[in-house]
Amino acid sequence: MNVRQKKLPLSALERIDDRCADFERRWQSDQPPTIESVLADNVPDEEQELLLAELVVLEIDYRRRRGDSPTKQEYLDRFPAHAGAIHDALDDDDKPNAPFAPPTVARLSELFPTLEIIELLGAGGMGAVYKARQEGLDRLVALKILPEEFAHDVKFALRFTREARTLAKLNHPNIVSVFEFGKVQDTFYFLMEFVDGPTLRDVVRAGQLSPEHALSIVPHLCDALQFAHDKGVIHRDIKPENILMAKDGSVKIADFGLSRILGSENQPTELTGTHQVMGTPRYMAPEQFEGARGVDHRADIYSLGVVFYEMLTGELPIGRFAVPSRKVAIDVRLDDVVLRTLEKEPQRRYQRASQIKSDIQSIASTDNPAFAPTMVHGDVGDVSGPAENTPTMAPTITPSTASLEQQELAGRLLLTRRDLMDRIRTSLRPLFRGQVIQILVGVGIIVLGAQCWARNTSLMPQVVCGAILHVYGILVIAAAAAVCTRINRIDYSKPIDQVRSKIDAVKGIYLKVAPLIGFPWWLMWIPATVAIGFDVVLHPNSLIPSIVLGVVGLAISCWLYVRVQRRDRPSAQAWRERFAGNSIANAYLVLHEIEQAQIR
């Protein structure tokens, strides 16, 4: 049995972990021990090969950082009795090259019988995340599955155990909690806190993040990073996708330490396959991107600065970028905060995440008119110099205009608003689907009319009936398309009054076209019956009474419709809502709920 197939108890893995951690500490303090000295320190025989494999990998890594070029043969010569362990530690030939494919829900249900696997939330090269329920505790959890390529990799198994134990101790309200971790068959997993809400990336893309919201989020991120850094844990991959915004207004950072677990913390490329790594270049600190030795917690501070800039401006600070106050109405003092987090030299940045929070709080609590107001320029300058165009004054949105408590409330209202807007969108879906069905019906009526007059071109009644159906079908399609178009024009990120005006437009066009399509059926059944083939309807004894009754019914329907909607009638509004249907009525109910909560 080779080293990758060995099964050791957790206590043995923990002993190996402790020895490896001490080995790393001594290398980092420039007092590197030899592998031979560690192995000679009363290591049980069954643990020696696993420990050797991990120590070899660690030593090679540190030697390469110092400019050495160690080879496999060198270690085979040093440890001839453990050639198998050396090969297992340094050979990657048996790893699969196929992209990671997330397991099916059915497969995971077999692996985790105590969990109810609900759905796949997302997948990528670094694994997949599933929504699940712990039936015994009756709570929702997130199950993160790592790629199976690591299943037989002793280096990964040891690193996973070491890092996961640390992550499970990160108990902070702004960090996604790790409840459990381990390996089931060939699958490494984390069982984590489930956060019901969007990622920061979703919110930024939707254009729903105002400066007040950004300033309510950053202090929480600083708290989380400072807590983790104090514990010696660096995230290494701070980006909007890893920041979750719960519906209760809390902000949580996910995937702490995952890049280190996957062994990719110093790699600069995007993760697109199982053998590629997890860093995101647009958010990585320069020293991290270049693979410099000694990347520390200040890399997270740089990444936070990129996220902060993107939250404020909607753009990334690439190349010669403008300071935030030239792009959005904020206190100009925040420019210094953002730019200091984005310093290329780590020693020139903030040294602690808590310092960023302190500066933001200081600005928020200072209402000093001596500070220059924000300018909005027609031609945005960059950090190297002012813009040429004359600035114009814009309403200033400063942290001092609202307390931190108000800013946090704004963050919660943002998520509440998103949830309520989703309810409006959902309430209008039945109406939209109904209009799509109406379009299909219109197509069917056109086809019916066309075949009526096309096969009876010598019979004038059939030609007339076919033409009537043809025109009516076009009207049916046009009416439905008009309603669908107005529904699609609703921008749910706009202010509430604009959303209401768009829904009013949907309601207005629907109330106009619905009678145009519905009431003519008093007469339209006659050409439809003829088109189907029941020509007996055209007999005078049948046709004349049908037309008379149809005209009377159409006239009465139109009269009643107009009468009940007259603005001088008390019941007019109730009838309009009744005619508009449940979809629009439900949308208005949610709008009323938003306005009652005073959400903009």
pLDDT at 391: 37
Q: Which residues make up each annotated binding site?
A: 144
pLDDT at 286: 86
Strands 115-124 and 139-145: unpaired
- Give the residue numbers marked as catalytic: 237
Report the share of the chain in percent with pLDDT over 70. Answer: 76
| Closest CA relative to residue 195, chosen from 266, 127, 121, 114 | 121
Kindly tell me if the per-residue pLDDT of 43 is higher than 60.
yes
| Of 37-46, 130-139, 576-585, highest mean pLDDT | 130-139
Kindly tell me if the per-residue pLDDT of 392 is higher than 80.
no
Distance CA 270, CA 466 (A): 61
The stretch 425-443 carries a mean pLDDT of 90
Q: Which residues make up each annotated binding site for ATP?
A: 144
Strands 251-253 and 375-376: unpaired
Residues of the chain with CATH 1.10.510.10: 196-402
| Closest CA relative to residue 449, chosen from 425, 424, 469, 463 | 469
The pair of structure tokens assigned to 239 is: 């980006």
User: Can you list the positions of beta strands (E) in 362-436?
Assistant: 375-376, 392-393
Mean pLDDT of the chain: 78
Residues of the chain with CATH 3.30.200.20: 97-147+169-194
Kindly tell me if the per-residue pLDDT of 542 is higher than 50.
yes
In angstroms, how far is CA 510 from the centroid of its own chain?
Answer: 34
| Of 157-161, 423-427, 453-457, highest mean pLDDT | 423-427
Higher pLDDT, 15 or 441: 441
Q: 196-402: which CATH topology?
A: Transferase(Phosphotransferase); domain 1 (1.10.510)
Whether CATH 3.40.630.30 fits 97-147+169-194? no
HSE on the CB side for 378, CA within 13 Å? 5
Distance CA 450, CA 444 (A): 10
If one counts every other C-beta atom within 10 angstroms of the C-beta of residue 22, the result is 13
Place of tokens 């019914």: 553
pLDDT per residue as tens digits for the range 478-531: 999 999 999 998 887 777 788 888 888 888 888 888 887 888 878 888 888 888
Task: Place 353 in a pLDDT band, splitting at 50, 70 and 90.
Answer: very high
The stretch 439-455 carries a mean pLDDT of 86
Distance CA 305, CA 283 (A): 9
Distance CA 182, CA 194 (A): 18
